[in-house]
Every structure is written in C-alpha cells, then in structure tokens.
Structure 1
Amino acid sequence: MPRTSINGKVNLAVDLGDPFLNHVVDGFFKIGTLKKMCKEDAYWGTVAGLYVGLEYGVERLRGTRDWKYAMVGGALTGALVSAVGNNNRDKIVLDAITGGAVATAAEFISYLT
C-alpha cells in the first residue's frame, strides 16, 4: 500500500483495494499537493495519476519492469492529455513522443542514482 507524505506534515496511506487504483491516487497526491491546491496543481496531479496508472498497467501487462514501461506510459499519457485539449493530430503525436522521451529519460536517471 503506497504511503504519501503531504508537505512533510500529513502521512497518508491509500488503500482502495486494488494496487492499480492505489498507485493512481498516490501519484495524484504526490504531485498535486506539492503546492497549494489550485487548478494547475489539480491538473498536474491528474496527469501524474494518469501516468502512474498507465505505467503500472503496462508493467502488469508485460510482467517485467524496465525502461520500456516508462516509455509506453509516458507516450500514452502525452497522447491522452494532448487529445483532451487538442484536435490537431500532429500535435497529439508530438506530445506522445515528448511524453515517452521525458518518461524514458527520467527512468534512466533513476537508474543512475
């Protein structure tokens, strides 16, 4: 069960009975509550929850944990977030590539530390 510390003051344990949902909510709280809760924070918290959920889902489907799950999760998140506010197919593809690249780079950096 993921445990989240909000602003270093509140320790929150999330258990929705499903590991997938637990990771999504945990991702939302980790990113969405770093600052005061406002529209932008809720947006980034939702994006983070979507990414963590997709990443976890891809990991479960593949049955392995490597850089590829981060790339696919980032690409899917980039495409979905872009598609919500954009009808330009080229922009959606570009955002999917960017999301995949950023997630893959973050995964490689985490291996170095």
Structure 2
Amino acid sequence: MLWSRSKFGSANANVVVDLGHPFINWLVDCFLKVGAIAGFHAIAQGLYDIVRQEKASKRSLEFLARRTVKEALRWGLVGAIYVGMVYAVQEARGIRDWKNVLVGGALAGTAFSFMESNAQHNRIVSSAITGGAIATAAELLRIST
C-alpha cells in the first residue's frame, strides 16, 4: 500500500492500494476512505457532545473511541459493498451507466439497514430505495457536470 501526499486543505486525499486485482483494490480503497470519513464524523459528534455536557471523563472518552471504531467499520463496510456491487454489475453487464449505480446503491442501503439492531421489512425496503435513489442522483450529477 502506498500513501501519497496531498496539500493540507486539498479536496484530494489519494490513497493508492495495489493488492493485485482491481476489484480488491477498489474495495479496500473505498473501505479506507469511507471509514476514515465516518470515523472523523463520529469523533466530531462525540467531542461536541462532551463539550456541550461539560463532562470529559474516562468513561465518555472510552465511549467515544468505541463509537468511532463502530461507525468507521460500519460505514466502511457499506461503502465497500456499494463499490463492490457497482463493479460486479458493471463487469456482468459490460457497460458503465447509472443502472449499475442504482443496483449498488440499493444493495448498500439494504446492507446498512441490516446492520441496525431493529431491522424491519419496511425499513429495509425504504433504505434500499433511498440508497438507490441517492447513488443514482449522484451519478447523474457527476455525468452532467
């Protein structure tokens, strides 16, 4: 794994992962990037809660650490599922278009809802529809610009 440098404040944080196969490279790259973003998000939320409640104890910091790892793993896995499914559908269909992204987003939304403690049928379907819609909208915006 090679790490590249980027300027502070730059929108590009490039991590080059070479494990011998493009599919595995995409999965690991996405897992790392999405997991890192989710981890930073959890840290920011946790620190805000600690400052707001004015209770910086060992227990609250341990809870923050557990929550950070949990969120990083959870979102990293969802991101890897999304990228993996988009790649798999693209390879199966032999074409790259918004339909691949729709399937990947729907399956990532489904995976996300299965990770919740109270996964119910209507929430699973709703998450699949939302995931597919958001992914498709993002892809169509990417194509149009």
Contact 2:15 2:29 in 1 (8 A): no
Could you tell me which runs of 5 or more consecutive residues in structure 1 were left unpaired when the two chains were aligned: none
| Structure 1 match to 2:51 | none
Q: Distance in 2 between matches of 1:48 and 1:5?
A: 21
Which runs of structure 2 are paired with 1:39-78 in the superposition (5 Å)?
39=69, 40-78=71-109
Match of 1:32 in 2: 35
- Between Structure 1 and Structure 2, the one with more strand by share is 1
Identity %: 46
Q: Please say if residues 4 and 29 of structure 1, whose CA atoms lie closer than 8 Å, have aligned partners that are also in contact.
A: no
- 1:97 to 1:17, Cα distance in 2 relative to 1, 3 A: same
Provide the C-alpha distance between the structure 1 equivalents of 2:31 and 2:6, rounded to a whole number of angstroms.
Answer: 14
Report the aligned-residue RMSD. 2.6
The aligned amino acid for 1:82 is S
Which residue in the other structure is 1:84 paired with?
115
- Note the residue ranges of structure 2 that are not aligned, 5 or more in a row: 44-64
Per the normalisation by structure 1, the TM-score is 0.82
More deviation in 23-32 or 96-105? 23-32
Structure 1 residues 28 and 53, CA gap change in structure 2 (3 angstroms): same
TM-superposed deviation, 1:4: 6.8
State the TM-score, normalized to the length of structure 2.
0.66
| SS class of match (2:15) | strand
Alpha-carbon deviation of 1:13? 2.2
Higher CA-based Rg: 2
Q: How many residues are paired up?
A: 111
